[in-house]
Amino acid sequence: MATTSADLDTLETLYNALKEDVESAHTIHTDTDTALENAAWESPNAQSFREAWDEFRPKLIAFEGVLADAATDVARNHNNIAAANGVTDAADLADVTAYE
């Protein structure tokens, strides 16, 4: 028999970490895109990095979506558990949306 347990404080902490990770992933890909577009950088290493970035960038964007989905799931679980237990002083956690 499966058991389910949750602690509102730890769920809120997890939610905040995941939400911040969405922001971090977005910042990494947007800042790197901008810097690469503006950089006068030509070398074998530059070409190698750009090729690796072109391959990695979509994975980073997809991961941003996974983080947002996880944060939203945690938020909904947190909010539902609080409501089911009549907890009125818990934060109401909002859904998180990926940027892309």
pLDDT score of 5: 62
DSSP classification of residue 85 = T
pLDDT score of 80: 95
pTM equals 0.89
Contact of 96 with 18, CB cutoff 8 Å: yes
Report the candidate in 3, 2, 10 with the shortest Cα–Cα distance to residue 74: 10
Chain segment 14-69, per-residue pLDDT in tens:
999 999 999 999 999 999 999 999 999 999 999 999 999 999 999 999 999 999 99
CB count, 10 Å around CB of 6?
A: 15
The arithmetic mean of pLDDT across residues 74-81, rounded, is 96
Contact of 29 with 60, CB cutoff 8 Å: yes
pLDDT score of 70: 98
